């Protein structure tokens, strides 16, 4: 109908306005890419990663058995470390640097970079590069954690094998000039290894041991090893579970889903059907602070004058999009 077309046009206009307004559009899905025909390249295992990831997860299991003997302050500290490091990913490398969905002042960028090293998920530059190809070439050979390759691959398997050549080929064509221009990000890249040793492992372990005489074993295994492992798995669930389980109220033609449980663990990053439909929305959801500590944090930073320019999709555009491409689940939920 005439009316329907007007709404579609407005939807697209809004898409381009908000997307372009950020100075980059390389997180928008590229429909023109075609996977190469013929057999897929063979898996090349990276044994160093397989061994280290196995040891890490064994260490986390051991840490679980230590919880009953830990001091309450140590557990509270581990939770604090989890939250800070998670914000370094969600508010930092994800919503700020990958998607430019808001602007952050220098002090906030320094804080988010410190928090990001504490999370040890590769440096911000590498995270952003992989994440923009994930959006642009979602669920194809050029997606680093292509969910078409199954739960295990999109969860952790992709970190244990060499990348598909298309990831690198397409990744090299991305516009990363905004990231290269950020001195804080490039400083982190240069000093990434020592920053991880210090912030992901040493600081979390030293604080309980020094300030409240926690045993060094518990100090290391709970706030460092267990907290790190839980943070990784909460993040990976966005790539695995939130690409497989949940409703698709915004676009039923793509795989990413709305998964409130994942959102709970990942501070608001499980509203993944919404996020892949509107990657420039700073809230990654239409529901504000619900299951979304990251949005509350960014709002607080704006209130304090440390952030600004939050990009938000309007209610009417969201509704129009639901009517046009959604699975209808919003009516029942
Ligand atoms: C980790 C990351 O866990 C997790 C990211 C998850 C993303 C989630 C997104 C979901 C939304 C947000 C949710 C947040 C929720 C948070 C909740 C928190 C509670 N483009 O990589 P290499 C080139 S990390 C362009 O070695 P291989 C480039 O030249 C965990 N070029 O490829 C590169 O050199 P350089 C800890 C690219 O050999 C060169 O290739 N870290 C691209 O195939 C070689 O790159 C680990 O475990 C690209 N995209 O090896 C380490 N990629 O970098 C894991 C590569 O110098 N990584 N190039 O420019 C590795 O060991 C390796 O990357 C590998 C592949 C073995 C996996
Ligand atoms: Zn994203
Ligand atoms: Zn995704």
Residue 173 covered by a domain? yes
ipTM above 0.95, yes or no: yes
Work out the pLDDT band at 23, boundaries 50, 70, 90.
Answer: confident
Q: How confident is the model at residue 1, as a pLDDT?
A: 40
In this model, does residue 13 exceed pLDDT 70?
Answer: no
Mean pLDDT (the chain, rounded): 94
In this model, does residue 228 exceed pLDDT 50?
Answer: yes
Work out the pLDDT band at 17, boundaries 50, 70, 90.
Answer: confident
Measuring CA to CA, which residue among 88, 185, 52 is closest to residue 129?
Answer: 185
Burial class (CB in 10 A: 0-12, 13-18, 19+), 225: buried
- For the segment 206-228, the average pLDDT, to the nearest whole number, is 98
Span from the CA of 284 to the centroid of ligand 2 (angstroms): 8
Domain count across the chain: 1
Measuring CA to CA, which residue among 17, 26, 25, 5 is closest to residue 174?
Answer: 26
Residue 181 covered by a domain? yes
Please answer whether residues 146 and 154 qualify as being in contact, where contact means their C-beta atoms are separated by less than 8 angstroms.
Answer: yes
Separation between Cα atoms, residue 132 and residue 119, nearest integer Å: 19
Residue 317 covered by a domain? no
pLDDT in tens, 39-68: 899 999 999 999 999 999 999 999 999 999
- CA–CA distance from 241 to each of 80, 102, 151, 181, 255 (Å)? 25, 27, 7, 34, 11
Sign of CA dihedral 284, 285, 287, 292: negative
Ligand 1 site, residue 215, Cβ cutoff 6 A: no
Span from the CA of 76 to the centroid of ligand 3 (angstroms): 31
In this model, does residue 240 exceed pLDDT 60?
Answer: yes
Ligand 1 site, residue 234, Cβ cutoff 6 A: yes
Residue 14 covered by a domain? no
The domain containing residue 174 runs over which residues? 50-249
């Amino acid at each position: 109908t005439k009316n329907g077309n007007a709404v579609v046009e407005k939807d697209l206009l809004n898409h381009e306005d908000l997307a372009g307004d950020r100075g980059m559009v390389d997180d928008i899905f590229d429909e023109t890419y075609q996977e190469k025909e013929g057999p897929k390249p063979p898996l090349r295992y990276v044994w160093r990663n397989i061994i280290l990831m196995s040891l890490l997860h064994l260490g986390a299991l051991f840490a679980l058995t230590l919880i009953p003997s830990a001091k309450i302050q140590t557990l509270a500290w581990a939770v604090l470390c989890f939250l800070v490091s998670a914000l370094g990913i969600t508010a930092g490398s994800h919503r700020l640097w990958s998607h430019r969905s808001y602007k952050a002042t220098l002090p906030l960028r320094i804080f988010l970079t410190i928090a990001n090293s504490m999370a040890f998920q590769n440096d911000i530059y590498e995270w952003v590069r992989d994440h923009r190809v994930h959006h642009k070439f979602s669920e194809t050979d050029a997606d680093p954690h292509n969910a078409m390759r199954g739960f295990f691959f999109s969860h952790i398997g992709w970190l244990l094998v060499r990348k598909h050549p298309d990831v690198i080929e397409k990744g090299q064509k991305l516009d990363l000039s905004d990231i290269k221009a950020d001195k804080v990000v490039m400083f982190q890249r240069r000093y990434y290894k020592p920053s991880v040793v210090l912030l992901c492992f040493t600081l979390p372990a030293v604080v309980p041991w020094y300030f409240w005489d926690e045993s060094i074993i518990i100090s290391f295994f709970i706030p460092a090893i267990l907290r790190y492992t839980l943070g990784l798995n909460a993040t990976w669930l966005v790539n695995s579970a939130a690409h497989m389980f949940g409703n698709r109220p915004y676009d039923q033609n793509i795989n990413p889903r709305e998964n409130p449980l994942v959102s709970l663990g990942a501070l608001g990053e499980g509203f993944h059907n919404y996020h892949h439909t509107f990657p420039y929305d700073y809230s990654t959801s239409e529901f504000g602070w619900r299951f979304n500590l990251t949005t509350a944090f960014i709002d607080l930073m704006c209130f304090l004058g440390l952030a600004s320019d939050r990009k938000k999709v309007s209610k009417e555009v969201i509704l129009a999009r639901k009517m046009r491409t959604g699975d209808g689940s919003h009516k029942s939920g």
